[in-house]
Structure formats: structure tokens, C-alpha cells
Amino acid sequence: MRLPIVHITPEQGSVSAIGWAHEIRDLGGLAFILLRDRTGIVQITIPKKKVSEDILTTFKEISRESIISVTGEVKSVDKAPGGREIVPETLTLISRAETPLPLDVSEKVPAEIDTRLDTRYLDGRRPKITSIFQIRSTVQHALREFFYKHDFIEITTSKIVAAATEGGTELFPIAYFEKEAFLNQSPQLYKQIMMAAGFEKVYEIGPIFRAEEHNTSKHLNEATSIDIEVSFATHEDVMDLLEQLICTAYQCVAENCERQLEVLGLTDFSIPKKQFPRLSYADAIDIAARKMEEPIAYGDDLGTAAERAIGEEMGCHYFITDWPTAIKPYYAMPYENEPEICKAFDLMHPKMELSSGAERIHNHDLLRQQISAKGLNPDNFEFYLKPFRYGMPPHAGWGTGAERLITTMLELPNIREAVLFPRDRHRVVP
Ligand code: ATP
Ligand code: MG
């Protein structure tokens, strides 16, 4: 197996290493190549008078970002990265990079996000970018471990569907043989069906598709949703679970990604404190009305400006609870004694919404009624409604945007930074 560059030490004597030529400097009698892999950088020092002709010939052919391999003695030197250098006995050019490069990997020349996304194959070589996706991987691992420990069953539901989850226009139609079908905007209906199927605790981490026309720094047209549904649970129960999950994700990053956090300049990374404040929708509207210039009233949805105003006042993760039934989806459970409000909640980061969830309606007739009340035709939801007639447990759940979790956790300026190949209004390639 190859020796990762970070593990090369002078004690090893002679080593072989392989990676990208990060920087090349020719000072006449002495030349240097910085050799990089995803773990770090090591200096190759070439004293021209002491090395073979072959090495000198190869050196001339090497361009920045070419793949090269080297064998040679490792020596301690104070000034080199990691305090060591390799003096080559052999030097091989394995895959030459053309010049000029479409993107400067060493970050001396800053690049626009569009150029970077077009050239992810170069952008991904930058330590900052690698760090973001190493952290995302750590978070997804921590989530799966959390769910496994809490006795969840991981499910995978179809992304090709015949009906919209919540109606509306945010759907991508696709040609499905002779039928019309859509890309699913949420696994909501399916995870609820699995409650009827007796799975009790399910989770899915998978893609959701939203044909939202707007181009913002927090919306994608293809996003990753972390979704759960739990039987015999209330909205309070799943809020507790969500808050625990968020803290676990942060904790796991703090424990395992120290180097990546440092690369990203997040030296003051802190784990959110439990318990997250719970603010009623009515109180949230009051704060927004007080702080915003544009008018906002009870019954309005919370737009970006309102989310910002409330987030500024709260200054930490918080829940917005007790939403008007009229502005939440039909499956949210209304309070028995006050059906104009429902047991729905949003989890908020001061900068944006992270999750939406609710205790769900488990009564068939009430659900049918609520679907109609939203102006939708219950007959189109027969596959979803039928399971409610044969023993549906009370249940609750939520969906959390994975990219928003990473964007807020790492203070990224744009959600596109948390996706390898974002899909937005203009971007379908690469
Ligand atoms: P918003 O109001 O911010 O557009 P939403 O309320 O429409 O979001 P939900 O349907 O509640 O979104 O989806 C649950 C979660 O999935 C959201 O809180 C968010 O984290 C994530 N999410 C939804 N749509 C998108 C999107 N277009 N891009 C990125 N993440 C999304
Ligand atoms: Mg929402």
C-alpha cells in the first residue's frame, strides 16, 4: 500500500511517495518540488550536481499538478513543510498536467465559484474543499451511527413517483414510458406508509428534487434530505431526537476533524447547547414584526428576511413551534382544543431553516378532510390514504437538509459549497 504523505518521517530512511506536483521552483543549482496528496505536502529537494541525468531530464518535463512518484532518502530540515525533505534517487512523471491550468490549485489566484464548480476535479485538490467533504462524510457517518444506536431501520424509497407529496408546482416531470411521473420532492408519504407497515422507526438519507425557480444561496434543485419517522411518538419526542442528533453531529466533527476545522479557519468551533429554545410561531412573528421594516402579520410564512431577524434575536439553534394549520402541510396534526394551530415545528439555525417536522395525523377521515382543505384531490392520494384504514399508529417525524446542516456548521457563504456537483437554475453540467 502507498504511504500517505502525512506519515512520511525522517526515521523511515528511504521511502517512495506519489502525488501531485503542487509547486515547482528552480533556483539554478537547487530545485524543489512540493509533492501533495490529500493528507499533506512533502518537499522534494533536487541538488542538481548530485542527482542523475535522468532525474534532471524528468524534472524539466514536470508541470504543476502533474502526477509524479519519487523514491529517496527522507531527511530532517527545519524550513520544509512537516520538517522533512526527500532527496530523489528516482523521479517518474506518471501523468502530465497540461498548462495553463483552468484553476490555480495553490489558491494564489482566487477563482469565482462558477469556475470552481466547473473544474471540481481541480477544485477538489484544494485542502479547504477536501476538508468540507471529509467533514460532510464524518457527519453522515455520525448520523447513521446515531440512528443505528437508536434502533432505526434505514430505508430507501423510490424517487420516481406518480403524485406530488404536497401538490404545488415544485416538481420535475419525467417521461416514464407512456405515463407521466415526477422526481420525488420528499419521502414523506412513503415513510408514513412504513409506519403502517410496522417498521416503527425509519430513516432515509437520500435525494429530494425541488423545481424551485429562484436562485438563492440556500436552495438547490437537488438536495439531500435526512428524514425520519417514528411510531408512537409525539412532535415533542422527535424534536428532542433532532436536537440530540444535531449536537451529536457537531460533537463528532469536533472530535474527529480537528485538522479539517483548522484548514477551514474554524478554530472556535463549538457544539450547540441543549436544550434549544422553543419559540411559538406567534412569538416568532412578534419578533419579526418588531425588527423588520417590511410589514409581517400572523398567518404569513416566514421569508428569508423574517428568518434573519428572528435568528439574530435568538443567536443559537431554536425551534419554531405551534404553526397555523393553514400554512403547514395537510399531514400535520392540529391541536385537539385549538385546531387552527398544529403540532408542526421548524428547526432553525440563526441563518436559515434546517428542518421541518410534525406530529402527523393518523386518522384517515381527518387526513382526507385536510387534503381537501388544501385544495388537493384526495383521490390522487389513494395509495397513501389506504394504509390509514388498517391500523395506523400515531407517529411523528422530520426532514433535515444535509447541505444546510453542513453550510451552517462550517459557516459556508453558499449552499453550493456543500455539494460536489450542485444542481441549480442554470447548472446541470458537470
Ligand atoms: P424553505 O422554506 O427554506 O425553502 P421548505 O420549508 O420548503 O424550505 P421543507 O419542505 O420543509 O423545505 O424541507 C425540509 C428541509 O429540507 C428544509 O428545512 C431544508 O433543510 C431542506 N430543503 C428543502 N428544500 C431545499 C432546497 N431546495 N435546497 C436545499 N435544501 C432544501
Ligand atoms: Mg420547511
Domains with residue ranges and CATH for the chain: 5-95 (2.40.50.140), 127-277+316-418 (3.30.930.10)
Handedness of CA 414, 419, 421, 427 (dihedral sign): negative
Does 242 have pLDDT greater than 80? Answer: yes
Going from the Cα of 401 to the center of ligand 1, the distance in angstroms, rounded, reads: 6
pLDDT at 109: 85
Which mutation among 136, 170, 185, 219 tests ligand 1's pocket best, with the greatest number of atoms within 8 A of CB? 219
Does 110 have pLDDT greater than 90? Answer: no
Provide the percentage of residues in the chain whose pLDDT is more than 70: 99
Q: Are 160 and 181 in contact (CB under 8 A)?
A: yes
Query: Could you identify the atom of ligand 1 that is nearest to the CA of residue 220?
Result: 28
Going from the Cα of 282 to the center of ligand 1, the distance in angstroms, rounded, reads: 21
Which mutation among 136, 208, 301 tests ligand 1's pocket best, with the greatest number of atoms within 8 A of CB? 208
How many residues are present in the chain?
430
Q: In a 3-state reduction of DSSP, which class is residue 258?
A: helix
- Cβ neighbours for 16, distance < 8 A, ≥ 6 positions apart: 3, 69, 70, 71
pLDDT at 137: 98
The residues with which 41 forms a beta bridge, in sequence order, are: 36
Does 167 have pLDDT greater than 80? Answer: no
Ligand showing the shortest atom-to-Cα distance for residue 398 = 1
Which mutation among 165, 214, 353, 405 tests ligand 1's pocket best, with the greatest number of atoms within 8 A of CB? 353
CB of residue 353 inside a 6 A radius of ligand 1: yes
272-300 tens-digit pLDDT: 999 999 999 999 999 999 999 999 999 99
Structure-derived torsion over alpha carbons of residues 119, 121, 125, 126, reported in degrees to the nearest 10: 20
Q: In a 3-state reduction of DSSP, which class is residue 38?
A: coil
pLDDT at 108: 86
Going from the Cα of 346 to the center of ligand 1, the distance in angstroms, rounded, reads: 10
Residue nearest to atom 4 of ligand 1 (CA): 219
Q: Are 115 and 103 in contact (CB under 8 A)?
A: yes
What is the residue whose three cell numbers read 533556483?
A: 27
340-379 tens-digit pLDDT: 999 999 999 999 999 999 999 999 999 999 999 999 999 9
State the average pLDDT for the chain.
96
User: Hey, what amino acid is at 21?
Assistant: A
pLDDT at 260: 96
Buried b vs exposed e over 192-212: b needs ≥16 C-beta within 10 Å?
A: bbbbbeebbbbbbbbebbbeb
Confidence band of 1 (pLDDT split at 50, 70, 90): confident
Going from the Cα of 354 to the center of ligand 2, the distance in angstroms, rounded, reads: 8
CB of residue 355 inside a 6 A radius of ligand 1: yes
Mean pLDDT calculated for residue range 148-164: 94
CB of residue 351 inside a 6 A radius of ligand 1: no
What is the residue whose three cell numbers read 527545519?
A: 78
Exposure on the CB side of residue 95, measured as CA atoms within 13 A:
5
Grid coordinates representing 154 are 434505514
Mean pLDDT calculated for residue range 307-333: 98
Ligand showing the shortest atom-to-Cα distance for residue 170 = 1
Does 312 have pLDDT greater than 80? Answer: yes
Mean pLDDT calculated for residue range 230-245: 98
pLDDT at 427: 96
Structure-derived torsion over alpha carbons of residues 407, 214, 347, 182, reported in degrees to the nearest 10: -100
Query: Could you identify the atom of ligand 1 that is nearest to the CA of residue 185?
Result: 10
Confidence band of 214 (pLDDT split at 50, 70, 90): confident
Does 168 have pLDDT greater than 80? Answer: no
Does 177 have pLDDT greater than 80? Answer: yes
CB of residue 399 inside a 6 A radius of ligand 1: yes
CB of residue 404 inside a 6 A radius of ligand 1: yes
